[in-house]
Amino acid sequence: MTMMLFRRAQDTDLSAIHHLAEQSGIGITTLPKDLELLRKRLDWSASSFNKAINYPENEYYLFVLENCADGKVVGTSAIEAATGHDSPFYSYKILKHTRICHSLDVRIDYEVLNLVNDNQSRSEICTLFLDPAHRHNSNGLLLSSARFLFMANQPARFSPIIIAEIRGICDEQGQSPFWDAVGSHFFNMSFAQADQLTLATNKQFISDLMPRNPVYIKLLPPAAQEAIGKPHHSAIPALNILLREGYRYNNYIDIFDAGPTLEAPRDQIRTIAASQVMTVKNIIDEVSSKNYILANTKLDFRATVSQAVFNEHQHSCILSKETAHLLKVKRGDNLRIAMAFG
């Protein structure tokens, strides 16, 4: 099996990330198709990695997945350290209400959408996209879950709660039933235009134009109601990975496409909680064992799926030369192992 390398993104990855963005369709807000916006994201990421951090602020960490057989970048994912640092981070919260008329013996249960900033300043995993030709083996799992090993290595850089906004329902033409029923009436633009403006501006237009009054779900068209809290079909594999990690839907949705927001306490995320730090005791030609997600503990973060033999009592492990070279570790270095992998 070809080895895959998960690593921090570099300036030289710009063209490859842009190619991935062009394949991603509409709705992945943090993966713009604009080359200059992507360049700014790469610069933002580079400065974030180079900062000394005591607590999360306005940082963004961008990663890529590289096919080691040909050096091709086939996926990307990221972490935003504190959402809404420069502008409000909006969500719709689903609230349930009940009205009872005893004289008529009538009870009415209904739900409303309230515009809130409840997820402000939480860390968010984002920007996940994997080339469709590489959606096999453990590539999607590595691209998603390796980020948690970086968090485990660098907890001061992230908030105690980690959220994920899952891409909501829209078609290939960029038509979103929820946007058509709600947002389009207030923004006077298409879903694709609003999605692009979210990344290209400071989001002030949302604050200026978004209605503050609750939205009564029963008054929306059936297609819009059905879209609330539902993932885009292409996001279902990523959603399932997060559910296995311990994420749960928290009754918040995206204000544009109504995709679900998931959350989990950082230290209870399965990959983080089950990971262990081992010392590299020896490096040999080949290792025969189970596969794990293995990562170095450096800011120049690198992770892969490979085999390792370890001694839990001594907190030590043995790697193959190929794996050690890929992760840039040597004897005596630390290695973080996702023990719950698979």
Is residue 153 within 8 Å of 204, Cβ to Cβ? no
Structure tokens at 46: 């580079």
Report pLDDT for 341. Answer: 67
Report pLDDT for 24. Answer: 86
Calculate mean pLDDT across residues 125-140.
94
Compute the distance between CA of residue 24 and CA of residue 174 in angstroms, rounded to an integer: 12
Q: Which residues contact 86 (CB under 8 A, 6 or more apart)?
A: 58, 202
Compute the distance between CA of residue 191 and CA of residue 197 in angstroms, rounded to an integer: 10
- Average pLDDT value for the chain: 94
Report pLDDT for 25. Answer: 77
Residue 55 has pLDDT above 70, yes or no: yes
Q: Which residues pair with 293 in a beta bridge?
A: 305, 338
Q: Is 232 annotated in the active site? A: yes
Calculate mean pLDDT across residues 37-44.
95
Report pLDDT for 14. Answer: 98
Q: What are the chain's domains?
A: 4-92+115-271 (3.40.630.30), 273-338 (2.40.40.20)
Catalytic annotation, pick one of 97, 134, 185, 232: 232
Report pLDDT for 26. Answer: 72
SS3 state of residue 81: coil
When pLDDT is cut at 50, 70 and 90, the band that residue 340 belongs to is low
Report pLDDT for 339. Answer: 83
DSSP state of 195: H
Whole-Å CA distances, 247 to 10, 80, 84, 128, 228: 29, 17, 21, 16, 18
pLDDT tens digits for range 167-178: 999 988 878 999
Report pLDDT for 143. Answer: 96
Query: What is the dihedral angle through the alpha carbons of 235, 160, 256, 226, rounded to the nearest 10 degrees?
Result: 60
Structure tokens at 32: 């713009």
What secondary structure does DSSP assign to 227-264, as a single string?
HTTPPPGGGHHHHHHHHHTT-EEEEEE-TTT-PEEEEE
pLDDT tens digits for range 188-231: 898 888 887 877 676 778 888 888 899 999 999 999 999 999 99
Whole-Å CA distances, 149 to 233, 244, 298: 27, 16, 11
- pTM score of the predicted model: 0.93
SS3 state of residue 333: coil
DSSP state of 177: H
